[in-house]
Each structure stands twice: as structure tokens, then as C-alpha cells.
């Protein structure tokens, strides 16, 4: 398990007061129901290539504010963001709400929670 700094964890705790989170089971149900949504992996490029949740697109935390409006201009569509453990995605969810996106969720336990729930990932091919 990664050791995070107190300052980072404090920021995440504050962000989580202002966002909605979704469990791996709830996400699986939405995917199985073909729910109209955008699933965004906000991890770094080197993490993305190790595998992602099926149907996810990659917009890393470092660029998402710059590119989100071009990629997903409708700010009323369902967006679910995830990272490795649910911390960075909580910060991203809060930021997207600040930008006017109204239906944003963070995967509460990130990709690790997804895997711990027994769900698979889609392996990325290096190009």
C-alpha cells in the first residue's frame, strides 16, 4: 500500500466531502446495463498501459482540466473517474464539478477496489 503525505490525504478528505462516490459493484451494474456514461481513467500514462477498466478512456489527472471540454462537452452527462486507489480521482471529481460538470462520481476504491471485487481489466497494447 502506498504511503501518502498528510497534506495530500487532507486534500482528498476535504474533496470527498463535496463529491459522490460509486462502489465497484455499482459501476459494474452500470456497465452491464450499458448505462450512458463516460468512464475516465485519470492515472498516469505508465499506469494506463498496465490495464484499465473495460470501456474506459484515458485523460490523466495532469491534463484532464485542459482536455475534458473538448472530449466530453456535455456537462450534464454521467462521468465516472477512477485512479489506482480513489484518492486522485476524488480530487479530479471535485475539479470537474467546479468546471460545471453536474453528474460526476469517483470510484471509491479505484482500480484496486475493482480488482479486489473480482472484476477484470482490459490490457492496453503499447503502440
Active site (catalytic) residues:
83
* Cα–Cα distance, 68 to 66 (Å, whole number): 6
Give Cβ neighbours of residue 8 (< 8 Å, ≥ 6 apart): 87
> How many distinct helices (H) and strands (E) make up the chain?
6, 5
| Residue 108 and residue 80 in contact, taking contact as beta carbons nearer than 8 Å | no
Contact (CB, 8 A) for 68 and 80: no
At residue 39, the 3 state secondary structure works out as: strand
Amino acid at each position: 500500500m502506498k504511503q501518502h503525505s498528510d497534506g495530500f490525504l487532507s486534500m482528498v478528505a476535504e474533496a470527498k466531502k463535496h463529491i459522490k462516490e460509486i462502489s465497484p459493484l455499482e459501476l459494474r451494474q452500470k456497465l452491464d446495463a450499458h448505462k450512458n456514461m463516460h468512464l475516465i481513467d485519470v492515472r498516469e500514462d505508465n499506469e494506463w498501459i498496465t490495464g484499465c477498466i473495460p470501456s474506459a478512456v484515458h485523460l490523466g489527472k495532469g491534463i484532464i482540466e485542459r482536455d475534458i471540454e473538448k472530449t466530453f462537452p456535455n456537462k450534464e452527462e454521467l462521468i465516472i473517474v477512477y485512479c489506482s486507489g480513489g484518492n486522485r480521482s476524488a480530487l479530479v471529481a471535485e475539479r470537474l464539478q467546479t468546471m460545471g460538470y453536474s453528474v460526476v462520481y469517483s470510484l471509491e476504491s479505484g482500480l484496486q477496489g475493482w480488482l479486489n471485487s473480482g472484476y477484470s481489466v482490459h490490457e492496453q497494447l503499447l503502440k
